[in-house]
Amino acid sequence: MTVPRGTGRGTAGANLLALRSHNTALVLDLLRAAGTEGISRLELAERTGLTPQAVSKITARVREQGLAAEAGRRASTGGKPRTVLRLVPEAGHAVGVRIDRDEVRTVVVDLNGTVVGERSRPLDLGAGAEDVVETVALEVEGLLGDVSGSLGHGFLESLIGVGIALPGPLDHGRGVLHRVTGFPEWDGFPLRDALARRLGLPVVVDKDTNAAALGLSVAGEGGSFAYLHLGTGLGAGLVIGGHVHRGARTGAGEFGHQVIQLDGPVCGCGDRGCIEVLCLTAVERGELGEAARVLGAGAANLVGLLDIELVLLGGRTVAAAPEVFVDGVSAMVAARARREGMPGGAVPVRVAPGGERGVAEGAAQLLLAPMFGRGDG
């Protein structure tokens, strides 16, 4: 099945976006957390602090939109058994797209974040904006056709939108790219609006590391952590107090371009001695241990600056030698903790779950997470 150009958004998808409100998000998040066992209206009121009347109105509305359904009855301490409600995961879907310098990966997830379709293909980010936008749009439409063929035509009506994750820097609020390292021709390109026009769907754009960090937070990583992504480039996604930290101009997380060697090699950004160029050149030489130590030096700086609780590593380069990178980064972080007498010792370092698909899944959460009060998209 082929999805026509300008897919458009069904009424269901539009209604899901319209449901965004703080109280509704509280209820939906608890419904999602309850899983198939469900949760009663009384429990919803107790856990949200809302009145039973308010909960009844919200649950009536989300049931009308098809987001919730009865999950049976549960015995109560007195009176008639309570009806319990559950989330209907298939009532809404979002597309997540990860645009790398040499590949585009696309997923479709339901309201639980479960992947129901995936595809990928090579991409040349330097081919020009028009060609890249068309390639990405065709991949999205192709995947929507695949998923629609298996889930039925109602799937297209449930689409909420498309989340795009790609290397920064960029303006998340306006969906406009800045000078992506190595690709200055993208500076100022309005990617969000270009893809929204082409696809006929709402589009949200963010840095790949921010999207991955959001996905990890939604999946249960709590507190404050840094997600460091080493692949074709190097960047960071920061979650502070449970929220993605984008900064005043949405430019936070340009981790790879902190200078640690003043007379070092020239980086693609134009500066010298950036962590990114030092890591990547070490990888090119086959010196993965050295790359891990350089990455660890940057991670230790970040831990000291922000006092975060956890460092997560991701990206294809890390995936190729996870133990080397975990050991190397851990050693550098631990050495700094010993020097500074950090209470509790060094923060833990581990590989982020999700693998190469994690960024694309996080991109889909740019649309879904705000529905559950878990992010601002």
Mark residue 15 as left, alpha or beta (left: phi above 0; alpha: psi -120 to 50; beta: remaining). alpha
Side-chain half-sphere exposure of 227, counting CA atoms within 13 A: 32
Distance CA 38, CA 199 (A): 36
Mean pLDDT of 141-170: 93
pLDDT at 104 over 90: yes
* DSSP 3-state of 242: coil
Confidence (pLDDT) at 303: 93
Q: Determine the residue type at 36.
A: T
Which token pair is 105?
């990966």
Confidence (pLDDT) at 82: 85
Side-chain half-sphere exposure of 194, counting CA atoms within 13 A: 19
Distance CA 106, CA 95 (A): 7
pLDDT digits (tens, 9 = 90+) for 313-351: 999 999 999 999 999 999 999 999 999 887 777 899 999
Phi, psi of 164, rounded to the nearest 5 degrees = -115, 130
Confidence (pLDDT) at 328: 97
Asked whether 91 and 12 are in contact (CB, 8 A), the reply is yes
Question: Using alpha carbons only, what angle is made at residue 245 by residues 357 and 22, rounded to the nearest 5 degrees?
Answer: 90
Query: Which of 41, 37, 43 is CA-nearest to residue 60?
Result: 41
pLDDT digits (tens, 9 = 90+) for 9-61: 555 565 565 556 889 999 999 999 999 999 999 999 999 999 999 999 999 99
* Residue 85 CA to its chain's centroid (Å): 28
